[in-house]
């Protein structure tokens, strides 16, 4: 395999750092949700309504990302969308009431979703040129960015820094850093006579099949993130501190597995990796369902995090490698997977209300077991060579920033 050019090596580093900036914006906001709730005196129900808005905004706006990329080129589109996302981070903490907070979070989610699609398409382009898997590691960098930013957020809260100044400072730092690292991205542009993608289009059938794989993983991710602590408290009788360990185990193992996942993908391929991950996640889910003590449940959540870690990165990669417009295909898959993340916490709660949390996580276990059956949708399909795709790739030295 030929060694990558300097511009390609720089692009790989740049896109990884873009993922980290995106994750850091999400992590910064997540740590200040309690402060925003206290500031606006929101009830749990009102806060829940507000927290649905980012996913709604993302789902509505993601189909537009392909058109923005087509018009501006990949590098400029990512830098613009990432800048808007960072600026939107400062909005929630200065809103005067619930309706304004919902509007701010709708914008926050819309900019996050469009930047997400554009940077994943860039990651797919870099991966294809390198000729080896990097998408799992890129999503691992997103998790690292979120973990680092959440640490700073916890420190800010401990120092009694209010959410407004903290999020404004974080937005400014991430805005500047994002623009700097974005200069090294590949500037992929359409051919001059290429037709612009539709503003809104239904995902193609192949994207729906890939999206189903991502749906199963993101449903489990949403359930694990939002309900692991509650599960340990209500089912195993654990303390709040022990319940937090379950969340930490889930998030940490998922981030670690993503960083290490590319090596596994290169050895086994995407389909076998997802099937192996589905088996590991199923084992973890069964441990959780069978658990009556924290000593069983915590390892179960850790295995669940390991098993689903690489599924979404591989789903985005599979979508991006198909068809002439990676951004549009990724947007279709992302819309399906984001919908899963939107409904998962509510479905888990509804099933628990009707029966028990154990039954809820039996449903989660059944979905991750389905990964072993649906993984075939990620089987590689060669993409047409340049000249028939309506896209042309230009390295950084070819186009000035």
pLDDT digits (tens, 9 = 90+) for 9-32: 999 999 999 999 999 998 888 888
Query: Residue 55: what pLDDT?
Result: 83
Mean pLDDT of 199-227: 79
Higher pLDDT, 34 or 73: 73
- The answer to whether residue 189 scores a pLDDT higher than 60 is yes
**Cβ atoms of 59 and 113 closer than 8 Å:** yes
Mean pLDDT of 130-134: 90
Task: Report residue 62 as tokens.
Answer: 């993601």
Instruction: State whether the Cα torsion 57-49-25-219 is positive or negative.
Output: negative
Task: Report residue 295 as tokens.
Answer: 């000593």
**Cβ atoms of 303 and 283 closer than 8 Å:** yes
pLDDT band at 92 (very low <50, low <70, confident <90, very high): very high
Q: What residues have CB less than 8 Å from 290, skipping those under 6 apart? A: 296
Task: Report residue 261 as tokens.
Answer: 């996942």
Question: What is the chain's length?
Answer: 401
Instruction: State whether the Cα torsion 250-251-256-258 is positive or negative.
Output: positive
Task: Report residue 353 as tokens.
Answer: 């209300």
Q: What is the pLDDT of residues 341-396, one digit of tens each?
A: 777 877 888 888 888 889 999 999 999 999 999 999 998 765 544 433 445 444 43
Measure the CA–CA gap between 209 and 213, rounded to whole angstroms.
7
* Whole-number average pLDDT of the chain: 85
Q: What residues have CB less than 8 Å from 45, skipping those under 6 apart? A: none
Closest CA to 380 of 268, 255, 281: 268
pLDDT band at 138 (very low <50, low <70, confident <90, very high): very high
Mean pLDDT of 72-77: 93
Measure the CA–CA gap between 384 and 362, rounded to whole angstroms.
42
Query: Residue 1: what pLDDT?
Result: 56
Query: Residue 154: what pLDDT?
Result: 80
Mean pLDDT of 298-304: 94
Query: Residue 321: what pLDDT?
Result: 79
Measure the CA–CA gap between 296 and 293, rounded to whole angstroms.
6
3-state secondary structure 225-240: HHHHHHHHHHHHCCCH
- The answer to whether residue 190 scores a pLDDT higher than 90 is no
Mean pLDDT of 252-271: 92
Measure the CA–CA gap between 287 and 26, rounded to whole angstroms.
30
């Amino acid at each position: 395999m030929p060694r990558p050019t300097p511009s390609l090596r720089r692009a790989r580093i740049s896109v990884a750092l873009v993922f980290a900036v995106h994750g850091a914006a999400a992590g910064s906001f997540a740590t200040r949700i309690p402060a925003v709730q206290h500031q606006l005196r929101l009830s749990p129900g009102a806060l829940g309504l507000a927290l649905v808005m980012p996913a709604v905004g993302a789902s509505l706006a993601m189909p537009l990302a392909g058109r923005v990329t087509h018009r501006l080129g990949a590098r400029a589109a990512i830098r613009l969308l990432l800048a808007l996302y960072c600026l939107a981070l400062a909005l929630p903490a200065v809103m005067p009431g619930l309706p304004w907070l919902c509007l701010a979070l709708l914008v926050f989610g819309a900019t996050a979703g469009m930047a997400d699609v554009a940077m994943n398409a860039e990651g797919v382009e870099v991966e294809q040129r390198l000729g080896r898997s990097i998408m799992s590691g890129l999503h691992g960098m997103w998790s690292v960015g979120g973990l680092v930013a959440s640490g700073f957020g916890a420190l800010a809260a401990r120092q009694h820094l209010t959410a407004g100044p903290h999020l404004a400072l974080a937005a400014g730092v991430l805005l500047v850093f994002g623009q700097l690292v974005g200069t090294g991205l590949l500037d992929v542009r359409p051919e001059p006579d290429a037709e612009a993608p539709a503003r809104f289009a239904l995902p193609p059938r192949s994207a729906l099949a890939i999206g189903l794989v991502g749906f199963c993983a993101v449903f489990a991710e949403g359930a694990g993130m939002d309900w692991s602590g509650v599960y340990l408290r209500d089912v195993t009788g654990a303390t709040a501190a022990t319940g937090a360990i379950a969340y930490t185990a889930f998030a940490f193992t998922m981030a670690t597995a993503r960083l290490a996942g590319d090596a596994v993908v290169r050895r086994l391929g995407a389909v076998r990796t997802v099937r192996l991950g589905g088996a590991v996640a199923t084992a973890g889910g069964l441990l959780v369902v069978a658990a009556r003590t924290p000593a069983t449940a915590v390892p179960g959540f850790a295995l669940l995090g390991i098993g689903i870690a690489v599924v979404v990165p591989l789903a985005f990669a599979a979508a991006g490698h198909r068809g002439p417009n990676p951004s549009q295909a990724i947007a279709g898959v992302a819309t399906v997977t984001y919908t899963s993340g939107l409904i998962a916490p509510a479905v888990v709660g509804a099933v628990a209300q009707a029966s028990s949390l154990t039954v809820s996580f039996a449903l989660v276990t059944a979905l991750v077991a389905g990964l072993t059956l649906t993984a075939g949708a990620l089987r590689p399909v060669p993409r047409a060579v340049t000249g028939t795709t309506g896209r042309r790739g230009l390295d950084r030295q070819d186009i000035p920033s």
